[in-house]
């Protein structure tokens, strides 16, 4: 076999083909994969899901072994950061076996980070085990510290469970970042106290703008709070110094002088963060989305199931990357009653 110059046999993947790094048409290098391992969840957050959701039939889901194979195909192609999300990743039955098997890529050095985004409800049960598989940092989504408000936002959630989950993660030595969605008239007055709480416990915090994904039975305009306003309000009480901190995600960080902690802002609506996009997503049915904010998708389940070799999957991934768009075009508009995209965040993963 003739190898491209500079390719050693060690660099050959399971198909015997030299893996290609994933570079999109805008010269962005794609090294971050987010995997929605289930569309189901034990909460029904008002901005994410409607109260009565219909979920995918279980028969459509990739098995945990197939998810492992698909994730590993992306690792072969140069993905170095893998985040499992959902729905709620920790409610998928047997999910620990997927973390366990994927941790071999941490051991080999191919993956730099294996992590998850969770609502925290099952963390007290799984934190220690997650740590043993090399999960060092996680994101926990939490929009309020008020138990009644928490119940109203999540419809079904119990704040105490999440708090003991966060305790368990920190006790296990996992670094926790708190993700807060800014919700107009709901938690806007609480964001300052939440920053103090998170930083007081040694956790970074990130504030996220509501994105128009999926019909949730509420008008987005009622929920949407531009982070420019949030930041301006926080700046009346705290000193926010811009810092050059990068986690491989789209957040822009400041250091809050009074607490000494880091605060991130994710602003898909008021500031387009697409120029530096380094990620793609796959769903639990093996559909690949090249952009969270566009409909275009690629089916990876068919090539995955068509052959035991990964050659077809690798080719499908390469083709899909060539279709990665320049950016999203989310708009929250009074005249537009429908969501910008019909699929919910829980399908593609946040
Ligand atoms: N269930 C897990 C959780 O809540 O962390 C993981 C999946 S959830 C879809 C991932 C993140 O997306 C959460 O931080 C959630 O707050 C956020 N999210 C969900 N719907 C959103 C929306 N419409 N706009 C902005 N963020 C959203
Ligand atoms: Fe579930 Fe997370 Fe969506 Fe809330 S944001 S409903 S916890 S998937």
- Give me ligand 2 centre to Cα 350, in Å: 9
Following CA atoms 49, 53, 58, 63 in sequence, which dihedral angle do they give, to the nearest 10 degrees?
A: 0
d(CA 100, CA 345): 26
Dump pLDDT digits (tens) for 315-349.
999 999 999 887 776 554 444 545 555 566 666 55
Element of type H or E holding 265: strand 262-266
Q: Which of ligand 2's atoms lies nearest the C-alpha of 87? A: 8
The predicted structure's pLDDT at residue 182: 95
Q: Is the CB of 120 under 6 A from ligand 2?
A: no
Q: Are 90 and 126 in contact (CB under 8 A)?
A: yes
Cβ neighbour number for residue 92 with a 10 Å cutoff: 21
Q: Is the CB of 44 under 6 A from ligand 2?
A: yes
Q: Give the residues surrounding ligand 1 with Cβ less than 6 Å away.
A: 41, 47-48, 85-86, 88, 117-119, 141, 179, 181, 208, 210-211, 213, 345-346, 349-350
- Give me ligand 1 centre to Cα 271, in Å: 19
The residue whose CA is least distant from atom 4 of ligand 2 is 45
Q: Are 222 and 199 in contact (CB under 8 A)?
A: no
Q: Which residue in 258, 151, 146 sits closest to 196, CA to CA?
A: 258
- Give me ligand 1 centre to Cα 238, in Å: 27
- Give me ligand 2 centre to Cα 38, in Å: 11
The residue whose CA is least distant from atom 2 of ligand 1 is 118
d(CA 141, CA 125): 17
Largest CA distance in the chain: 65
Dump pLDDT digits (tens) for 126-162.
999 999 999 999 999 999 999 999 999 999 999 999 9
Cβ neighbour number for residue 160 with a 10 Å cutoff: 10
Q: Is the CB of 346 under 6 A from ligand 2?
A: yes
- Give me ligand 2 centre to Cα 196, in Å: 24
Mean pLDDT for the stretch of residues 19-42? 90
- Nearest ligand for residue 344 CA: 1
- DSSP notation for 187-233: TGGGHHHHHHHHHHTT-EEEEE----BS--SS-HHHHB--HHHHHHH
Q: Give 83's DSSP letter.
A: E
Dump pLDDT digits (tens) for 231-257.
999 999 999 999 998 877 778 999 999
The predicted structure's pLDDT at residue 220: 56
Cβ neighbour number for residue 314 with a 10 Å cutoff: 21
Q: Which of ligand 1's atoms lies nearest the C-alpha of 143? A: 16
The predicted structure's pLDDT at residue 282: 96
- Give me ligand 1 centre to Cα 350, in Å: 5
Dump pLDDT digits (tens) for 108-128.
999 999 999 999 999 999 999
Mean pLDDT for the stretch of residues 204-217? 81
d(CA 102, CA 96): 10
- Nearest ligand for residue 181 CA: 1
- This prediction has a pTM of 0.90
Q: Which residues, other chains included, contact 150 with Cβ-Cβ below 8 Å and sequence gap of 6+?
A: 142, 143, 144, 157, 158, 159, 162
In the predicted structure, residue 50 carries a pLDDT above the cut 90: no
Following CA atoms 259, 134, 249, 194 in sequence, which dihedral angle do they give, to the nearest 10 degrees?
A: -30
CA 252 to chain centroid, in Å, comes to 16
Element of type H or E holding 137: strand 137-141
d(CA 339, CA 142): 23
Q: Which residue in 189, 58, 195, 139 sits closest to 349, CA to CA?
A: 139
- Give me ligand 1 centre to Cα 117, in Å: 9
What mean pLDDT value characterizes the chain?
A: 87
- Nearest ligand for residue 85 CA: 1
Domains and CATH numbers, the chain: 22-348 (3.20.20.70)
Following CA atoms 331, 335, 337, 338 in sequence, which dihedral angle do they give, to the nearest 10 degrees?
A: -40
- Give me ligand 2 centre to Cα 113, in Å: 23
- Give me ligand 2 centre to Cα 46, in Å: 9
Q: Are 216 and 47 in contact (CB under 8 A)?
A: yes
Mean pLDDT for the stretch of residues 181-203? 96
In the predicted structure, residue 350 carries a pLDDT above the cut 70: no
Q: Which of ligand 2's atoms lies nearest the C-alpha of 181? A: 5
Q: Is the CB of 38 under 6 A from ligand 2?
A: no
Dump pLDDT digits (tens) for 168-180.
999 999 999 999 9
The predicted structure's pLDDT at residue 221: 53
The residue whose CA is least distant from atom 5 of ligand 1 is 118
């Amino acid at each position: 076999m003739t190898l491209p110059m500079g390719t050693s046999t060690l660099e050959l993947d399971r198909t015997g083909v030299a893996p290609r790094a994933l570079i999109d048409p805008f010269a962005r290098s794609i090294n971050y994969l987010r995997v929605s391992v289930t569309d189901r969840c034990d909460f029904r957050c008002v901005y994410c899901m409607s109260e009565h959701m219909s979920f995918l039939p279980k028969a459509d889901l990739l098995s945990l072994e197939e998810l492992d194979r698909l994730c590993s195909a992306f690792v072969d192609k140069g993905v170095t950061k893998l985040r499992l999300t959902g729905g709620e990743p920790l409610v998928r039955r047997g999910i620990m076996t997927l973390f366990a098997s994927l941790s071999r890529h941490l051991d080999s050095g191919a993956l730099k980070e294996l992590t998850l985004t969770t609502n925290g409800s099952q963390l007290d049960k799984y934190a220690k085990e997650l740590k043993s598989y090399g999960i060092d940092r996680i994101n926990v989504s939490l929009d309020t510290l008020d138990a009644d408000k928490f119940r109203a936002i999540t419809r079904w959630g119990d704040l105490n469970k999440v708090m003991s989950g966060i305790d368990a993660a920190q006790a296990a030595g996992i670094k926790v970042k708190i993700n807060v969605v800014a919700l107009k008239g709901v938690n806007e007055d609480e964001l300052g106290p939440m920053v103090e709480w998170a930083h007081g416990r040694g956790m970074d915090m990130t504030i996220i703008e509501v994105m128009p994904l999926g019909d949730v039975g509420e008008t987005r305009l009622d929920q949407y709070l531009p982070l420019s306003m949030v930041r301006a309000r926080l700046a009346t009480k705290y000193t926010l110094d811009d810092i050059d901190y990068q986690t491989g995600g789209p957040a822009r960080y400041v250091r809050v002088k009074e607490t000494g902690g880091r605060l991130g802002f994710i602003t898909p609506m008021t500031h387009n963060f697409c120029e530096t996009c380094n990620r793609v997503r796959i769903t639990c049915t093996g559909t690949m989305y090249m952009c969270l904010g566009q409909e275009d998708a690629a089916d990876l389940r068919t090539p995955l199931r068509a052959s035991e070799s990964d050659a077809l999957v690798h080719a499908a991934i390469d083709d899909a990357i060539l279709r990665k768009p320049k950016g999203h075009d989310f708009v929250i508009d009074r005249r537009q009653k429908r969501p910008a995209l019909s699929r919910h965040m829980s399908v593609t993963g946040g």
